[in-house]
Structure 1
């Protein structure tokens, strides 16, 4: 059975960017419909680190204490190692005395908490198992979407349609948006192991004679490990068999021993491509891309969610004003890109520099990596670069209409 609904803003994607945008607009009284293709908020190995810049935004929205009350663990420090030798270290309180940590919040918990804040708002609606199959257009203006649901086809007519549906965005594909650049530096192979009792609240980036790895404490009692491999190498690793890979893990870190000894196949591993890309124009008449749909960040620095949230906040302000003025043109919606593109390009450049070290494909570059990091630590370059991506350079200036304590 086919049916039609009308709304002010239709947001495709119920991840952090989509929910934050929907939450802010609904708080300001805008009618919002969020469409999520999955049947719930479950996410695995995606966007669970909330950097200080995310908590800065939550502070502006009046939601910081609410987010920090969620089940979570704190990451207060980090260190770079070559084998067992510490090359450099950093403390989050050196970046920010007000927010001296990152939070590890499982994404299902975060999304559920954001949803709870919006469910009490009468102008907000969320529909699960809603897959976009097409864009509605009147002449050159996007005016909604066609959606496949378990109950049949749904047509959502909207004044503004927002693609917040991630790096594989259907809205971006259906709308014919073009990439300005795209870089695939390498892949992170994620897996989790039990956390040793004496691990503490720090992350570690470890260089070895094999593959570098990122190790983070994961709520509630695990370590999440990302093994860094050059593009395409994971296929070669699997072709050599699990026994060879088991030997590498056994020699990489004592915390991996039980996991590696019980490893019989490659099912426990999840591959995440370390890509950065930037869409040339984020807006069309009646349509806007935000978050990873517009400016995908690589996993380096674990800032993807935080950056997408900042873009969502900028989009809420622009869309609210556009609706008030009756102007949802590409030029007006494109103000989001004007506000956010400079920082996104800067973060991408920093991530690409880090990727050259982390995903080095030659033994010569790998041999230089410990020297580069050790020198960068002594000269304070590592901390300066981290400060640039982990902290919001200045307040976003959230209007009181979007605040939850106003």
Structure 2
């Protein structure tokens, strides 16, 4: 087995992993990011870049170049129900230099971060390299074993950052268990061609479904939200029901949905789970992002929280790693304590405060969700909901 060393190994090249790698390398830490895929091209990944993430990229001095990536800007989230439209979140009112959410392909974001990190000494990105288990010395994690096209690889390190998603291999390897879990909905993703100048309300409720439309320039990225665990039942109803539901929201979609949704292969299922670990760490290992707390896609906040985890971890642990010392469990615990409140607050909102927005069965209609009623009655609240979604309770800074 080939053996290498690094001060830090990051497992997973998603938003949390790439941001952690970039920030640690920027501090002079020798860091290796291992990513099991050969590129970042995956459809229907989260594509939201929130104001707090834009702030981090600005603090790195990279914002002007970053915004050259093709993207669309969203300044509000409007919810349309049987009771009428409600501007649920108005980002133009928030306390931020960037009062909008930028929608840009996640693979472009990751390519950008990888390119910038690659310009720094001490950074390595190993693609087609899948972390399979941890290396231990006593009770301490001291590295990762991985499979590569050239054979097995062992990377020894002072710290392993597990950023390998909601089905994290690393957290399973060290026996970290989920403390709380809920599955409020499932989502079917697909694309529809967008006509020039065509506009849509962000979210619509219907009978047994919710439809979310994201402007991707040449096409709409569409989320068809269904009751949790009902995918087989939805398939049994046939594509005719799905097409009819989509067309009922926006009649001009009727011809496009017939042409572009030819069979179920054109529809991708995302099983939604909201969970978090009781403990995010073991000696020598720290979980961040979805590996520590899986989020619902509501508001696109999962990416934002993952990036914020990475920023906090790099800021708090980078100086320790730079001295050649392994972070103590107490130092790892401080990262969890720093990030746990924002995670719990968002999950509380996703699972409970927005619970009546999700479809419960295929026959009922969501007419007056509580959150929309509240904002309709007190319109100034849409500033605070935007602040909560776009910036969060505890925004992180590079230094």
Q: Aligning the two structures, in what range does the TM-score lie when normalised by the shorter sequence?
A: over 0.9
Q: Select between 112-121 and 79-88 the one with higher mean Cα deviation.
A: 79-88
Question: SS of the residue aligned with 2:196?
Answer: coil
- For residues 228-243 of structure 1, what are the structure 2 equivalents within 5 Å? 228-243=225-240
Output the TM-score relative to the length of structure 2.
Answer: 0.93
Unaligned 5+ runs, structure 2: none
Partner of 1:384: 384
Contact 1:136 1:146 in 2 (8 A): yes
Structure 1 residue 394: deviation in Å? Answer: 5.4
- Displacement over 6 Å in runs of 4+: none
- For residues 171-250 of structure 1, what are the structure 2 equivalents within 5 Å? 171-200=170-199, 204-218=202-216, 220-250=217-247
Structure 1 residue 392: deviation in Å? Answer: 4.0
Structure 1 residue 375: deviation in Å? Answer: 4.2
Does structure 1 residue 251 correspond to structure 2 residue 257?
no
| Counterpart-to-counterpart distance in 2, 1:39 and 1:225 | 27
- For residues 370-381 of structure 1, what are the structure 2 equivalents within 5 Å? 373-380=372-379, 381=381
Contact 1:38 1:129 in 2 (8 A): yes
Unaligned 5+ runs, structure 1: 400-406
Question: SS of the residue aligned with 1:99?
Answer: coil
Change (3 A) 1:229 1:383: farther
Contact 1:196 1:255 in 2 (8 A): no
| Counterpart-to-counterpart distance in 1, 2:313 and 2:373 | 40
Change (3 A) 1:352 1:115: same
Contact 1:143 1:286 in 2 (8 A): yes
Structure 1 residue 90: deviation in Å? Answer: 4.3
Q: Residues 172-192 of structure 1: CA distance to partner in whole angstroms, max 9, x if unpaired?
A: 111111111111101111111
- For residues 10-89 of structure 1, what are the structure 2 equivalents within 5 Å? 10-82=9-81, 85-88=84-87
Change (3 A) 1:188 1:253: same
Structure 1 residue 21: deviation in Å? Answer: 0.4
Structure 1 residue 353: deviation in Å? Answer: 3.0
Structure 1 residue 60: deviation in Å? Answer: 2.5
Equivalent pairs, count: 396
Structure 1 residue 269: deviation in Å? Answer: 1.0
Question: SS of the residue aligned with 2:8?
Answer: strand
Change (3 A) 1:392 1:257: same
Change (3 A) 1:340 1:187: same
CA-based RMSD: 2.1
Partner of 1:132: 131
| Counterpart-to-counterpart distance in 1, 2:346 and 2:156 | 35
Question: SS of the residue aligned with 1:185?
Answer: coil
Structure 1 residue 245: deviation in Å? Answer: 2.7
Structure 1 residue 395: deviation in Å? Answer: 5.1
Q: Select between 208-217 and 115-124 the one with higher mean Cα deviation.
A: 208-217
| Counterpart-to-counterpart distance in 2, 1:83 and 1:56 | 37
Change (3 A) 1:89 1:350: closer
Change (3 A) 1:370 1:335: closer
Change (3 A) 1:203 1:144: farther
| Counterpart-to-counterpart distance in 2, 1:367 and 1:20 | 38
Question: SS of the residue aligned with 2:266?
Answer: coil
Output the TM-score relative to the length of structure 1.
Answer: 0.91
Contact 1:17 1:290 in 2 (8 A): yes
Structure 1 residue 68: deviation in Å? Answer: 1.5
Structure 1 residue 84: deviation in Å? Answer: 9.4
Question: SS of the residue aligned with 1:254?
Answer: coil
Q: Select between 359-368 and 279-288 the one with higher mean Cα deviation.
A: 359-368
Q: Residues 81-122 of structure 1: CA distance to partner in whole angstroms, max 9, x if unpaired?
A: 125942345432112462121111101111111111011112
- For residues 253-268 of structure 1, what are the structure 2 equivalents within 5 Å? 253-262=250-259, 263-268=261-266
- For residues 131-170 of structure 1, what are the structure 2 equivalents within 5 Å? 131-170=130-169
Partner of 2:317: 319
Contact 1:10 1:161 in 2 (8 A): yes
Contact 1:70 1:105 in 2 (8 A): yes
| Counterpart-to-counterpart distance in 1, 2:88 and 2:345 | 23
Question: SS of the residue aligned with 2:243?
Answer: helix
